[in-house]
Amino acid sequence: MGMLLAGTPDPMQVGAFLMLLRYRGEDAGEIAGLVEAARSACALADTGVDLDWPSYGAGRTRGAPWFLLAALALARSGVRVLMHGSNEFSGGMTVPQALAALGLAPAGSAAAAREALARHNFAYVPVQTLCPALAGLLGLRRLFGLRSPINTVARLLDPAGAAAAVDGVFHPPYIETHLACAQLLDRSRLLVLKGGGGEAERNPLRPVAAHLYVRGEGRSIVALPALTDAAEAREDEPPIDAVWRGDIASPGIEARIVGTIALGLLALGRGGDEAAAAIWRAR
């Protein structure tokens, strides 16, 4: 992985290596090793982050990134949230587009990320800014026509060594890989679930199983209930900035946001749905 990030191998070798790993299937030990090497090249130290929030989903049918409002509400409540990622292969509104609608912007450097965290308890760092070489490996998906294990590596990167992390996957079998890697990497706390478009976002229409790893305690599954019914959620998506300001009442969307705030709280060990609703109201 260090060689890949340094650009040492021939491009043909890179493609063969990544596709061979994909063909064999993702092994937790191998992925953990790749993550360790990537972290040494992409670390964002001295930030005191509470919650790591990777956003690398590639859903083609998803709309706005409502999980962003959940992360911002948590930040308003005092949780220091670092979001990093790439929505290059997503069909919906990207995180940078949503930030622009809210009058915000991605961090353009590590220093800018530290400043944003110090001032607002939130920073979004595009993977291209965080680690251009890793972004290049992720971008090979366009050439291959397939995801590679680098997608899992990016989600597990945790560049700031946060106290906890919340992560979404598209395919449930990857949950086991994430949990096993968290243990091998000696992570403090990691919550993983099958989320919309592969993002850490809770579907309020149905019960959800959240998988939690805690250092020293092992794994557990938290059964989360549905938060609304189909009638409430069956609505056109309102503008994301209007929902944030409270200009538009959207019960289904707000249930999605509150449920996602709860994911962050569960990852941190600080409560659940009731506490999440209070955080959303107080934003």
Provide the residue-wise pLDDT of the chain in tens; the chain has 283 residues. 999 999 999 999 999 999 999 999 999 999 999 999 999 888 887 789 999 999 998 666 578 999 999 999 999 999 999 999 998 877 789 999 999 999 999 999 999 999 999 999 999 999 999 999 999 999 999 999 888 999 999 999 999 999 999 999 988 999 999 999 999 999 999 999 998 888 999 999 999 999 999 999 999 999 999 998 766 555 678 999 999 999 998 899 999 999 999 999 999 999 889 999 999 999 9
pLDDT the model gives residue 280: 98
49-147+159-281 under CATH 3.90.1150.10, yes or no = no
The Cα–Cα gap between 103 and 91 comes to: 22
pLDDT the model gives residue 89: 78
Fill in the amino acid letter for 76: R
pLDDT the model gives residue 234: 55
Torsion on CA atoms 207, 209, 214, 220, rounded to nearest 10: 110
The Cα–Cα gap between 85 and 126 comes to: 5
| Domain boundaries, given as residue ranges, for the chain | 49-147+159-281
pLDDT the model gives residue 60: 62
pLDDT the model gives residue 233: 57
pLDDT the model gives residue 271: 86
Please check whether residue 25 is in contact with residue 56, taking contact to mean a CB–CB distance below 8 angstroms. no
